[in-house]
Amino acid sequence: MTTQTARTQPAKAETTNLRRSGTRGRRWWREVFWRYVVAAVMIIICVTPLLYVISASLNPGGSLVGSNRLFRTVSGENFADLEARGFWTWLGNSLVVCTVTAIGTVLMGAAAAYAFSRFRFKGREKGLTGLLLAQMFPQTLAFVAIFLLLLTLKDVFPALGLDSLLGLIFVYLGGALGVNTFLMYGFFNTVPRELDEAAKMDGATHGQIYWTIILRMVTPILAVVGLLSFISSFGDFLIAKVVLQRADNWTVAVGLYSLAADERTAPWGLFAAGAVVAAVPVVLLFMFLQKYIVGGLTAGSVKG
Amino acid sequence: MSQQTIAHDSEHAPPEPPPGDARPVRGDSSPARDFSKGFLAKLVLVGLIDAIGLYGILTAISVEQWAIVGFLVLALVAVNWAYFSRRALAAKYLLPGLVFLLVYVIFTACYTAYVAFTNYGDGHNSTKADAVSAILAQNEQRVEGSQAYPLTILTDSDGDLTFAIVRDGQALAGTQDDPLAPAEGATVESDKVTALPDHEVLGFAAVAQRQQEIVDLRVPVSDDAADGSLRTQDASTGYVFESVMEYDPAADTMTNTQTGVVYRPNDQGQFAAEDGSTISPGWRVNVGFDNFTRAFSDDRLRTAFVEIFLWTFAFALLSVLTTFVLGLFLAVVFNDPRVRARKLLRALMILPYAIPAFISALVWKGMLNTRSGFLNQVLLGGAEIPWLTDPWLAKLSVIGVNLWLGFPYMFIVCTGALQSIPGEVYESARMDGAKPWRIMRSITLPLLMVSVAPLLVASFAFNFNNFALIYMLTGGGPNFVGTPVVVGHTDILISMVYSVAFESGLKQYGFASALSILIFIMVGAISWWGFRRTRRLEEL
């Protein structure tokens, strides 16, 4: 948001002028007021479903019908009942999977970005293009093959096969290179090479340069890539659903789906409670990191 | 001065500690002379990887997965070379990510293409040899007048069920995977085995509990499937069952010994008789482009497929269009500096984007429920509008919910892009007497497009495969009637792939993979065309 205010500075001066010179009275009503009306309508549309789900989560034993009168009753019963449904196991699974994936993605992506940024080797240019091409076939399209691969792997490395969290993490790590590498590659290039050269003269190995100098300099991009990776694997449903089979192993996405799958019998209050618990940390994280995420959006991760 | 020159040179020349220099030169020094902490860590790590890899190679050999053996051998050679060579600097950093990319992106992409040309799926899961033994096993019948053996049921140390009998005075034992073999050290009392080392006799209660399992269990008499198997119906007497099918490896035919019908392998990977009847299971064969043309050639599928195909495009296009128009509108509206608290308004309006999509989609599914949903019950006063169960309304709902989910993204993007349009352009336009709408059309939009167009293409590609939304909200329904796969009016191609692969009773991996490839080709072509157009925009 800071960059934005900097850019709009001339406009701001104009604003004050406008305000002083009378965007008031009738003209204010005509030119500005309706914007607040639009805002109010949009905010109601945006917030109502959220209020609805929060209200439903507080409504004990709530069915779909029972959840319609907002905030009629307030009780923490649903949140207490989440335990029996195994929700906390799902949340734990999601946290483990997403954290490990995020860390792995950052480490492997950064290493690759370092190699592309600092070393000149045969096939470097081709490697960069190849990376882009490899990402052209998204993993979501290959889920049948991923399923079959993991089915076979189960015989050799049971820990990497179907219905294993590690197996799912490995699948996600397959996407560690690619967009992330490009994001980091650009950032790595902005770290002056003189730093490496100086360190090298002092006798530092490439490993020392990478771990103690470069990685420290690029910490912001590492955090952004890590969080984007966390959020995207947290939101993944398709691959998690294909890979994980026993309820104990489900992630939040698969688990919550199972709760709400059949509307007639769905424990709606329970689902809502789970949804609130799962969404709140992500929303907070998002709000906190808004400007990084917004910046990262233009680099490729898309929703909507 | 001279010392510095030497240190500098050591980058290229083999390292030789300059005389008199106490500081060890570490840059390129050989590990043989310098056991640093890092080297030890590397040794342990690579050793660990080697150990795991070796274990993998051995198990892969034992289950005859030769492709995995080959990959692991190559990978281990690459890892050891990269981390112990002094030259492979870049490889050291690239290798970990590349291995994952190779297995989980490149291999799976190629494997999808391969499977698309086979009939892999239920009934065609494995090799021909496996299919032959499965057919022999499935068509077993009790041999008329065959001997009855008093049977003992035991479990071995792994908990696997074991059958033990006495034949010709010799105790024999076997499991599902291990054919009958002489049982060493068995205790036999009155022609019945009563104890076996490392095994436990199953008690009455346990037998009752695992009854179905026991009745289903077949213990092969020998390695040859044609010899039949030992089975039991009452858990106390075993009979030898033999297949009514007979496989002749020389002629490659399957004969039903009761009816005399001869089955020959056809090019669909099945044994077929003259009259066209086939026996299951079959095996995996290459079926050429059958999977690719199937959607068009199968009468029961064609209409549904065409509709899904068109709807996928409509959905992706409308998703981009609606979210973009609303996002841009809001961005323009709130770009006016006279609006106060814009930061707060924006934060509230991007809330839908912050929530994981699967959660929002499920919440909306509840809110749109016909009888008891919030929308019908509260906002529309009890109207029972079938938002998700009427074909057209379901489509409308999908677009609507996607608009709710997606407009904040476009809002953010457009707001950002608006900031980068210089104010002077507007000023001069206004001087020339341009009206707001004209300014919007002739200045804002074209300038905005330069930076936003690539994102619109990406958004199109994303929505083309927006599986979670469809699956969570409508599950693809309302379903078509009479199609061989379970698909419905709001299914898009990717959710059709999922249904074909996992949810339509018969799993058809080959057909599903072919659809994946088709999607890839379409999205790829459109994106390529789109990005080329965008680049032309930039040149303007």
pLDDT tens readout for residues B423-452: 888 888 888 888 888 888 888 888 888 888
CA pair distance B405, B402, nearest whole angstrom: 5
Residue from the list A56, A156, A238 with its beta carbon closest to the beta carbon of B68: A156
Q: Which chain A positions have a beta carbon within 8 Å of B127's beta carbon?
A: none
Q: Looking at residues B310-324, what average pLDDT do you find?
A: 96
Q: Which chain A positions have a beta carbon within 8 Å of B377's beta carbon?
A: 65, 68
CB contact under 8 A, B351 and A32: no
Long-range contacts of B435-442 (CB under 8 A, 24+ apart): B440/B332
Residues 6+ apart with CB under 8 A from A131: A177, A178, A181, A182, B101
Tokens of A218: 């690029």
CB contact under 8 A, B366 and A149: no
**A301 pLDDT higher than 50:** no
Residue found under tokens 């006016």: B336
CA pair distance A268, B497, nearest whole angstrom: 29
CB contact under 8 A, B467 and A140: yes
- Higher-pLDDT residue of A13 and A106 is A106
Rg (CA), chain B: 34
Banded pLDDT at B410 (limits 50, 70, 90): very high
Tokens of B268: 């669909």
**B512 pLDDT higher than 50:** yes
Banded pLDDT at B19 (limits 50, 70, 90): very low
**B102 pLDDT higher than 70:** yes
Percent of chain B at pLDDT > 70 equals 93
The whole-number pLDDT of residue A147 equals 95
Largest CA distance in chain A: 78
State pLDDT tens for residues A78-87: 898 888 888 9
State pLDDT tens for residues A248-295: 999 999 999 998 877 667 788 899 999 999 999 888 888 877 766 666
Length of chain B: 540
CB contact under 8 A, B365 and A142: no
**B22 pLDDT higher than 70:** no
Using a CB–CB cutoff of 8 Å, tell me whether B404 touches chain A: yes
Percent of chain A at pLDDT > 90 equals 38
Instruction: Spell out a b/e string for B409-425, using b for 16 or more CB atoms within 10 Å of the CB, else e.
Output: bbbbbbbbbbbebeeee
Q: What are phi and psi of A87, to 5 degrees?
A: -60, -40
Residue from the list A46, A171, A302 with its beta carbon closest to the beta carbon of B349: A46
Q: Which of A142-146, B7-11, B334-338 has the lowest mean pLDDT?
A: B7-11
Whole-structure pTM value: 0.83
Of B442, B374, B424, B366, which is closest to residue A270 (Cα–Cα)? B366
The whole-number pLDDT of residue A295 equals 61
* 8 A C-beta contact, residue B91 and residue A125: no
How close is the nearest chain B Cα to the Cα of A40, in Å?
9
**B9 pLDDT higher than 50:** no
Q: Looking at residues B315-334, what average pLDDT do you find?
A: 94
Residue from the list B56, B93, B416 with its beta carbon closest to the beta carbon of A114: B93
Most confident of A70-74, A144-148, B212-216: A144-148
Of B206, B249, B242, B200, which is closest to residue B225 (Cα–Cα)? B242
Of B24, B35, B27, which is closest to residue B10 (Cα–Cα)? B27
Residues 6+ apart with CB under 8 A from B89: A115, A119, A121, A206
Q: Which chain A positions have a beta carbon within 8 Å of B100's beta carbon?
A: 108, 170, 173-174, 176-177
Q: Which chain B positions have a beta carbon within 8 Å of A7's beta carbon?
A: 419-420
Interface of B with A in 39-98 (CB under 8 A): 56, 59-60, 63, 65, 68, 89-90, 92-94, 96-98
Mapping DSSP onto H, E and C, the string for chain A reads CHHHHHHCHHHHHHHHHHHHCCCCHHHHHHHHHHHHHHHHHHHHHHHHHHHHHHHHHCCCCCCCHHHCCCCCCCCCHHHHHHHHHCHHHHHHHHHHHHHHHHHHHHHHHHHHHHHHHHCCCCCHHHHHHHHHHHCCCCHHHHHHHHHHHHHHHHHHCHHHCCCCHHHHHHHHHCCCCCHHHHHHHHHHHCCCHHHHHHHHHCCCCHHHHHHHHHHHHCHHHHHHHHHHHHHHHHHCCHHHHHHCCCHHHCCHHHHHHHHHCCCCCCCHHHHHHHHHHHHHHHHHHHHHCHHHHHHHHCCCCCCC
The whole-number pLDDT of residue A196 equals 87
Interface of B with A in 480-509 (CB under 8 A): 494, 497-498, 501-502, 509
Q: How far is CA A15 from the centre of its chain?
A: 37
Helix B357-367 vs helix A268-288: crossing angle, to nearest 10 = 140
Residue from the list A8, A238, A302 with its beta carbon closest to the beta carbon of B337: A8
Q: Looking at residues B32-58, what average pLDDT do you find?
A: 83
